[in-house]
């Protein structure tokens, strides 16, 4: 075999084995991260846009999101709105453990005004609040032993 043929053969076989790289953006696959990224933007009426995310919603996802919200957002309104929204979804229901965790993370016992602030935030953002949402708020009040705020 002549040298030009060997070099052409080797160069074509080496070229075929090199993988082709494409530079694409990495998609966020963690459901909690998807919700968290959306909550950081704080769009008015976040409940409508949260539904469009379509990520899997389970207790570990909700737990991770409310932990992030409680540690970064001093007023906790966004985190509580997410908690309320998650509780009214058909595929997920809060357990008593999750209500207890939300009360601890958002310090509802020490700051019961946060319940009023959430209700006012719904009013300011002109969001419709249904009966299921109020049931979740009442369950939070029950878990935190806040009778006056529940009334």
pLDDT tens, 57-111?
899 999 999 998 887 766 578 889 999 999 999 999 999 999 999 999 999 988 8
Query: Does 25 fall in a domain?
Result: no
Query: Does 1 fall in a domain?
Result: no
Residue 4 has pLDDT above 80, yes or no: no
Q: If you average pLDDT over each of 1-5, 95-99, 117-121, 147-151, which comes out highest? A: 95-99
- Rounded to whole angstroms, how far apart are CA atoms 124 and 119? 9
Query: Does 80 fall in a domain?
Result: yes
- Rounded to whole angstroms, how far apart are CA atoms 78 and 43? 10
User: With b meaning 16 or more CB within 10 Å and e meaning fewer, what string describes 3-15?
Assistant: eeeeeeeeeeeee
Crossing angle (nearest 10°) for helices 59-72 and 31-41: 40
Query: Does 7 fall in a domain?
Result: no
Q: Based on the structure, what is the number of domains in the chain? A: 1
Query: Does 73 fall in a domain?
Result: yes
- Rounded to whole angstroms, how far apart are CA atoms 9 and 7? 5
Q: Would you state the pLDDT for residue 11? A: 55
Residue 49 has pLDDT above 90, yes or no: no
Residue 70, both tokens: 């409680």
The mean of the pLDDT values for the chain is 80
- Rounded to whole angstroms, how far apart are CA atoms 9 and 99? 68
For residue 65, the enclosing domain spans 30-150
Contact 79, 103 (CB under 8 A): no
Residue 34, both tokens: 């998807």
Query: Does 72 fall in a domain?
Result: yes
pLDDT, greater one: 112 or 74? 112
Query: Does 108 fall in a domain?
Result: yes
CB neighbours of residue 103 within 10 Å:
20
pTM flag (> 0.85): no
User: Exposed, middle or buried by CB within 10 Å (0-12, 13-18, 19+), for 73?
Assistant: middle
Query: Does 2 fall in a domain?
Result: no
């Amino acid at each position: 075999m002549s040298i030009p043929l060997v070099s052409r053969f080797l160069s074509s076989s080496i070229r075929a084995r090199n993988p082709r790289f494409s530079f694409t953006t990495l998609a966020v696959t963690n459901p909690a991260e998807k919700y968290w990224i959306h909550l950081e933007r704080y769009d008015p009426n976040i409940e409508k846009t949260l539904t469009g995310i379509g990520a899997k919603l389970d207790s570990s996802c909700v737990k991770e999101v409310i932990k992030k919200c409680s540690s970064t957002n001093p007023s906790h309104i966004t985190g509580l709105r997410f908690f309320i929204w998650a509780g009214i979804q058909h595929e997920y229901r809060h357990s008593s453990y999750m209500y207890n965790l939300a009360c601890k993370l958002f310090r509802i016992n020490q700051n019961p005004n946060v319940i009023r602030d959430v209700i006012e935030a719904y009013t300011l953002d002109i969001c419709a609040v249904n009966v299921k949402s109020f049931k979740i708020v009442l369950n939070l009040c029950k878990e935190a032993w806040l009778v006056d705020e529940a009334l």
